[in-house]
Structure 1
Amino acid sequence: MTPVAWAGTPPLPPAPPESVAAALAEVAELGPFFSVVTGEPGAMWRPVRDAYADGLEHLVEAFTNRHGLSERRVAASVVQLGHAARLWSPMLGCVVLHGVVPDLGGLRQRADASALWLPEARGWWAPRGEALARVVYRLVMEEHLAVLAAGLRVKVAPGLLLGNAASALAGAAHAVARARPGARRPVISLATGLLGIGDLRGAGAFTGPGLEFRRRSCCLYYRLPDGGTCGDCCLTGRP
């Protein structure tokens, strides 16, 4: 790989593949949402951009049928929220714990599930300061979640999808801080910076020292037959 730079960011020097692979393997131990398979796959995978163009329809359809939903937008929201968590979690883990920004450009997804795979472990050394949040925002929000939002086959309010992205980001930051207390300050700093950039601005905010979070839209989880409100829901009376 050669150094890469986007508008407003310094050139990022490439990190050795073994460093990226080691970072991804280590953060995968933090939980299932942190796991990205690398190397030779053992199942059928397709480029995640193809899945985005299809609106992750295989997951939306499966969720709709499993819960007997009449509103497909509820399934689309929950699926998008889960996918956002699968992007933010390994990204935040690698950046904060290892100083590595994984390249998610070649990301693939199982054709019959939500698991993710990278054919090659590639990436860059993380920049310092405000540039880091801008780089991470571009890689996750612009190159993945915005593309997925455009491909959804069912109409879902843009503000809801952005709230899901913010909620998934906060959840990933909380998981990193809980698993690695020494990384609490840098992961809070990064997540807070991300919540002040672009479309994430105003989608939600941390409200307490325990990484309590309040989003400004509802994910519609309460509309599941056995659903309820989430801990960060805007519909609750919590200040």
Structure 2
Amino acid sequence: MARDRETGNLHPANVDGDTDAEKEIARLTGVIHDLWQILDQQGEMICRFRPDTTLTYVNQAYAAYYGKRPEEMVGMRFITMAPPARRTQVMAYLRTFTPEKPINTFELRTVKAGGSVRWTWWREYAHFAADGSIDHFHSIGRDVTEMRLMELALADARFRLRRKESRPPDPSDVPLSRRERQIADLIVVGHTNKQIAGELGLQVSSVKVYITSLFRKLEVRNRTQAATRLLEQDPADS
């Protein structure tokens, strides 16, 4: 501050300097705003979260995938959206990041409300504090369901061709109906017959019929063997 020699009043010193600083702040604020808009306009899903999975930023594509608005998701822990049987696996996975290996990729298969199955591919980056602890993650994902469905259709075509040629089927090409695939996904995450019935709106007796068919196609005798076979076919879920 400086004092006016004639009036004795105090006024800010170096007015030109302060004006330049205000202009720079306004410019940088505008740049940051533009960058957030660019992120929101991306087709890929983008989020940032703390090690406890609390979301601190999500773009429009990420929120839309979960049927929510960005402001609804910021502050929530995304671990709460995972099936209870998989939450321990998710937290263990996040602990595998190190300063030497700060980037990882994986593919996630999700059974959404109504029984539809979606696949998403993710690349995640861990950012570390000075003491070596994880400060936060940022993650970029995209929906690869169409590609996965094409792969399943190809496997189905190969299976039918082998059947036509009377050749023994390759276990990795076993075709499952849409309902059998839904039930298989729920078996992998540890759902009981009653839980599967509730999730898909079926009778427990119907679920048992589907599971019998599923076991026959997978050439297994129980749920543990079925889950193991399915994870062998789809290692991204492990």
TM over 0.5: no
Q: Which has the higher strand share?
A: 2
Greater relative contact order (Cα 8 A, min sep 6): structure 1 or 2?
Answer: 1
Calculate the TM-score normalised by the size of structure 2.
Answer: 0.32
Calculate the TM-score normalised by the size of structure 1.
Answer: 0.32
